[in-house]
Chain A
Amino acid sequence: MGIKRRKAEETIFKILMVMACLIVGSSLFLIVGTIVVKGVPYLTWDMVSKAPQGGFYIGKEGGVLNAIIGSLYVAGGATVLGLLISIPISIYLNIYLKGGSLLSKSAKLAYDVLFGIPSIVYGAFAFSIMIWLGVRASLLGGVIAVTLLIIPILVRTLDEVIATVPRELKHAALSLGATRWETARVILRQIKPGIYTAVLLSFGRGIGDVAAVLFTAGFSDNIPIYIDEPAATLPLAIFFQLSSPIPEVQGRAYASALILTLIILVIVIVSHILATKHKHKL
């Protein structure tokens, strides 16, 4: 092949690459753009400040406050519960165990695999546990399912963050006579911003997921007060409203989608800022 043809091939592929990059990069703007264009006309103060009133599903008064609160409860509860479980795990795996031990290796692999398990499987599994325990669809059920879903995210993120802490810090603490538990506290203080990032990530995942809460949290027009009450969640509210034939109700689905997107964007952007700040410090 002559050099000209070889150069031409490179140019063609360069153009293709730039195009691919543009398509992939613009997809986010397409999605957010579509949601904003569709949602803004229907976004009213009532949407975020009121629970569904009588006749809401035939287009009368009300909003999706019940679903917003429900989602915050489910995602918040799951994040707190998930942290209580995953912080000890990641401390144990990284500080107590040696890096190459079989348990730490297999645990890390297990979390990588669990991370890939789809939320519908977690939902189905949590639902079977609930039947077994005799728990009906409720806030508690939703929290259980979402906790299972986000533990792998939390452990993996914490793991990555702990890995950024210089090894000397651990060694210095240990050599000064600190116990491993005290060393863990030193390291935890170091990775505080990283913990915030992990929290935001899993909270965002929890608030946006439908398949896990579909059978476990149920749905209700009331704002949940007790943990054994069924609770509406925002993604599910979008899904239900969208399948309605009434235009006003569909419009509310667009507005609810916009609300959810805004919540997620705020979460992702804040966590990104935190993550870069953390990186700069190290």
Chain B
Amino acid sequence: MLILSISSVSFVFLIGIGLYLRTAPLFEEHTLLSLFRGSNWAPSKNQFGFYPFIMGTLSVTLIAIVVALPLCLLTAIYLTEYAKPGIRKVMLPLMNILAGIPPVIYGVWGIFFVVPIVREYIAPQFMEYSSGYTVLTGGVVLAVMIFPILVSIVSEVLSTIPKELKDASLSLGATKWETIKKVVVKRALPGIVAAMVLAVSRAFGETIAVLMVCGNVPVAPTSVFDGGYPLPALIANNFGEMMSIPLYDSALMFAALLLFVIIFLFNLISRIILNRIEHKYSS
């Protein structure tokens, strides 16, 4: 059991090392900088520019967080401060179910619900034609996927704020909303940031749902109505054919390594913050 436990800790590093070893051949011919900045993706010509994919990932993630964060913050505040316990009892299980819905189902929903809305109603306001398969669509689908994480973690963090603090603010004549704005949210800020970082890393690594609605155009998007091609989609789409071209599999493993390193750091930081909050209030 000791061995199992220790090996589970080292497993985190094992993934990193394993992916690095498979990526290593790529570094013999390309520098890290050229991989990040290159915008040509032509594996058969030994060109591996990751710039479009990095931009694709960043834009869908950014859109997702911009859409989801205000909605989820307001929801979490409502649930912890204003709502009757009954509403909380309904909403939190709903969030659990939402978290359990598989990514591919989100993708199907994206195709039939979000894509037509973007194509028929939103995009025509700004341009002549859009297929609907855009980074905006991907961002909206991702936003819904991160609702559960954001709502449940932020609600948890908000509920750790001591009642005395709120009472003190209320007794000084602040309205409930002012108390929330200036005391509760301020106090909960580290936890809210941690929840946001967790949600970002979830959005970062999401593969299939984004792949289905993003258009998969290997060009860095310049507007929200452009198609995009996030890193995870790149890995998923090309894994079948990579074996025949030299360095192709190393390049895809590099994409996986990149995702791993970023998400590892994000998760580590936010978990440490969240653990600290939990400790402070449990002891």
Contacts and interface: CB of A to CB of B under 8 A. Distances in A.
A209 interface: yes
A14 B79 CA distance: 11
A31 to B, nearest CB: 5
Contacts of B151: 24
Question: What are the nearest 4 A-B pairs in CB distance?
Answer: A118-B205, A208-B102, A10-B177, A20-B74
A116 B207 contact: no
Interface in B236-259: 236, 239-240, 252-253, 256, 259
A113 B271 contact: yes
Main secondary structure of the interface of B (DSSP, over half): helix
B129 interface: no
B278 to A, nearest CB: 11
Given A28-B98, A235-B104, A118 B259 contact: yes
B101 A21 contact: no
A208 B100 CA distance: 9
Contacts, number: 234
A235 B102 contact: yes
B75 interface: yes
A172 interface: no
Contacts of A20: 70-72, 74-75, 78
A88 B5 CA distance: 8
Interface of A: 6-7, 9-10, 13-14, 16-21, 23-25, 27-28, 30-32, 34-35, 38, 85, 88-89, 91-93, 96-97, 103, 106-107, 109-122, 124-125, 127-129, 151, 155, 201, 204-205, 207-211, 214-215, 235, 238-239, 242, 253-254, 257, 260-261, 264-265, 267-269, 272
Contacts of B193: none
B212 interface: yes
Given A27-B98, A120-B232, A128-B19, A88 B4 contact: yes
A89 B5 contact: yes
Given A113-B12, A113-B271, A265-B97, A38 B112 contact: yes
Nearest to A129: B18
Contact of B108 (A96, A201, A257): A257
B259 A109 contact: no
Interface of B: 1-2, 4-6, 8-9, 11-12, 15, 18-19, 22, 70-72, 74-75, 77-79, 82-83, 87, 90-91, 93-98, 100-109, 111-113, 144, 147, 151, 175-178, 198, 201-202, 204-208, 212, 232, 235-236, 239-240, 252-253, 256, 259-260, 263-264, 266-268, 271-272, 275
Contacts of B75: 17, 20-21, 24-25
A110 B12 contact: yes
Contact of A25 (B94, B260, B266): B94
Contacts of A272: 93, 96-97
Contacts of A209: 102-103
Given A10-B177, A34-B112, A261 B105 contact: yes
Contacts of B263: 116-118, 121
A122 B14 CA distance: 12
Contacts of B82: 14, 17
A18 B84 CA distance: 12
B112 A264 contact: no
Contacts of B239: 124, 127, 214-215
28 contacts: A13-B177, A18-B78, A21-B78, A21-B79, A23-B71, A27-B144, A30-B113, A31-B98, A31-B105, A31-B113, A34-B113, A85-B4, A92-B1, A92-B2, A107-B9, A109-B268, A110-B9, A111-B8, A112-B267, A113-B271, A117-B15, A118-B206, A121-B205, A125-B15, A125-B256, A238-B104, A239-B107, A242-B111
